[in-house]
Structure 1
């Protein structure tokens, strides 16, 4: 129900330990490490293949080009928000589940935050990466919106149309993440819960100590 909650591949289509999947994961890992060392401009297909101990043919068999490889780093390493919801949960209950899932991945996101920001900054100056990100986002928004419509066939029960709701949840999650990473004292758990409660149309008071006010 969030824009980054992409379903996992079916075991029938991708058996555990599949060689191609392991090769792809290794190449992404090496590309991520190289980007940390040299920046994204320093990542080349040839160097990634060399460091991974693979041929150029192996890397081009998994990624069409350099942009295709770079675009795979973010989804592979940025911890996703994957709430667990019970059947029949209300919008407010689901929003609380989303808040809990976001809080749960905050420690992992803290470790990956600097790399995530570097990747976003690089993408801003690369039309190809922006196009790939837009395509992926559109696909995941459609999947998440369909989930919301299945749960709430009467869309008037939602605070806004399903596609808009998915986009807002994603933007709210990312915004709260980076604000918390920069100023953790201003975004404690209570603020995150209150933000998603407000999105569900509920009013939840934020304690003075949690709001950053004296």
Structure 2
């Protein structure tokens, strides 16, 4: 038992070190993408910026595509609202608006790199395929979350459709807010989510 405890205590720091290494590489990659655009960033340059060897970065990411996906996961993660148990659909939409507003400072720090990465992906068929797969997984998880969270009878459209609408709307609101802050204040973001419920209910009664 003593040997087993010692073995476990030896393993834990390795895991911590790997996480720290990965975080440092992602931070270095974000800096370089922000400065030069993703198409000008090499794996070796990221390793040098992080003060590490090429072996360190290739031990964490297979290639630049892997690195770009990881950057998006780390610095542009899906928005997760804080939902009280038993919340109505309107309350859920209000919480989504609040969560969108709350991530704005983080999004501002990551926006230039995020947009440069997306621009790079547009010209890379394999990377676009991977972005499609990652986004589809997020949509599936979001649709399942809606099914489990929204009360029966309150959802007027298929969750698979609604999650795409919410994502597209929140992305547009965030980016436009960062570009023109005075034109997209918090009130606009809250109004957009509040209107979503009514628009969907209205449409569902006319089709």
Structure 1, unaligned runs of 5 or more: 1-13, 204-214
Cα distance, 1:116 vs structure 2: 2.2
The aligned counterpart of 1:175 is 172
Alpha-carbon distance in 1 for matches of 2:119, 2:37: 11
Q: 1:164 aligns with which of 161, 165, 177?
A: 161
Alpha-carbon distance in 1 for matches of 2:86, 2:14: 32
Cα distance, 1:106 vs structure 2: 1.9
C-alpha RMSD over aligned residues? 2.4
Cα distance, 1:101 vs structure 2: 0.9
Alpha-carbon distance in 1 for matches of 2:13, 2:169: 35
Higher helix share: 2
Q: 2:75 aligns with which of 71, 74, 77?
A: 77
Q: 1:33 aligns with which of 31, 34, 45?
A: 31
Task: Count residues with an aligned counterpart.
Answer: 189
After superposition, residues 2-17 of structure 1 pair within 5 angstroms as none
Alpha-carbon distance in 1 for matches of 2:13, 2:99: 28
Higher relative contact order, chain-length normalized (CA < 8 Å, sep 6+): 1
The alignment's TM-score, normalised by the length of structure 2, stands at: 0.81
The runs of at least 4 aligned residues of structure 1 exceeding 3 Å deviation read 14-17
Pick which of 14-23 and 59-68 moved more: 14-23
Q: Summarize deviations over 1:170-209 as a string: whole Å, max 9, x none.
A: 1010111122222223222222111111112279xxxxxx
Pick which of 107-116 and 69-78 moved more: 107-116
After superposition, residues 133-148 of structure 1 pair within 5 angstroms as 133-148=131-146
Alpha-carbon distance in 2 for matches of 1:20, 1:190: 42
Q: Which protein shows a greater Rg?
A: 2
SS at match of 2:59: helix
Structure 2, unaligned runs of 5 or more: 1-11, 201-207
The aligned counterpart of 1:121 is 119
The alignment's TM-score, normalised by the length of structure 1, stands at: 0.78
